[in-house]
Amino acid sequence: MSKSKTITLEEKHGANNYAPLSVVLVKGEGCKVWDEDGKEYIDFMSAYSAHNAGHNNPVLMKAFLEQAQKLVLTSRAFYNDKLGPFLDTLCNVTGLDMALPMNTGAEAVETAIKAARRWGYRVKGIPENKAEIIVSSGNFHGRTTTIISFSSDEDDKTDFGPYTPGFKEIPFGDADALEKAITLNTCAFLTEPIQGEGGIIIPEEGWLRNVREICTKNNVLLILDEIQSGMGRTGKNFAYEHEGITPDGLTLAKALGGGLLPVSAFVARRDILELFEPGSHGSTWGGNPLAAVVGKVAIEYMVEEKLSERSAELGAYLLEELKKINSPYIRDIRGIGLWVGVDIDPDKISAKEVCMRLKEAGILAKETAGTILRFAPPLVIDKALLDESIKRIRSVFAEI
């Protein structure tokens, strides 16, 4: 099947809810992928950080295949022998008490919203249907109806109303605004510690520590969305570790599935999650034995292979080298770990055009927030391949 035929079929029968680059991928291994013409690319996208351990990681793949031949799905109508060990590993690595497994990141966030509201009513004593959750401007937590109701992106919301009430937006990274926004009906502050879709927006040092203190003082839950920033991406296992704090709740997905299948979870304090009872929440596939095995091994691989340490070391090197690029097309370069945003001047060239030129040079990346090139290679990348990637990126800007 030719490339044009492949794309034609997808465009004919698939909803037009994505704008992919014109490349059809058929194979992946480690930090590289190949298209149907056999051309090799270095993956600087990692499927939005789902491939932190690389494509077809042999350790994760072995666990996946072994379990797939034994038992894949039981539903939660029965116990399975893999879920308990996964939850134990997940709670140990996060420092929290309990977890509710789901499939996608949006499902994890929806679970967190329900948990926060129930805690607000049953523990904090908020009057019925009055619970408020504070969120950050520029946020991205998913695209379900409830989540888009507090999105700052109008493209996410247009013609999808009416919207779910109960959310209040404050500027991202502004601790004073959080304190002023809290009322007796505030049950939680839900935020990303670092905004990925927003363009790799990194708040000032100390912000998250201040937020932790404010939430504790006001009896408000601090719930962090680490669906992209977690699992080693920022140079720590989880971004909140940079500030030495622990959230009350945490949403995880993407790399938790090892790039093999969707695995997500809401992890939280016991007094929050013990408020659920049979029938109050669930998912047929959430916590299935195949997902549980992959999730457990993905966490163990992250820790044993010191992916966060690799991300910190190589990420600092990548950021330093990219900042040496002297180009009038670049307005700013920022990053943490192997997660870098390159802000392109839209008056000179579009970020999408740069992505297309990078593709021709064998680097796959994708723009976000309109003007930002997001560079997020698998955390297993070695320095030699990183140097080759930097060389290609420099050549693209030189040609521009």
Listed residue (235, 250, 253) closest to 298, CA to CA: 253
The active-site residue out of 140, 150, 172, 266 is 140
The Cα 400–Cα 393 span in angstroms is 11
Respond yes or no: is residue 225 known to be catalytic: yes
The active-site residue out of 236, 254, 296, 366 is 254
Respond yes or no: is residue 343 known to be catalytic: no
The active-site residue out of 35, 43, 174, 225 is 225
Cis bond before residue 162 (omega within 30° of 0): yes
Contact 288, 265 (CB under 8 A): no
DSSP characters over 310-358: HHHHHHHHHHHHHTT---TTEEEEEESSS-EEEEE-TTT--HHHHHHHH
Bridge partners, residue 338, by sequence: none
Contact 295, 364 (CB under 8 A): no
The Cα 341–Cα 374 span in angstroms is 5
Bridge partners, residue 33, by sequence: 28, 41
Using only C-alpha atoms, the chain has a radius of gyration, in whole angstroms, of 21
Contact 164, 146 (CB under 8 A): yes
Residues 6+ apart with CB under 8 A from 393: 322, 325, 358, 361, 363
Contact 134, 181 (CB under 8 A): yes
Respond yes or no: is residue 366 known to be catalytic: no
What residue type is assigned to position 274 of the chain? Answer: E
The Cα 236–Cα 250 span in angstroms is 15
Contact 378, 54 (CB under 8 A): yes
The Cα 300–Cα 297 span in angstroms is 5
- Catalytic residue set: 140, 225, 254
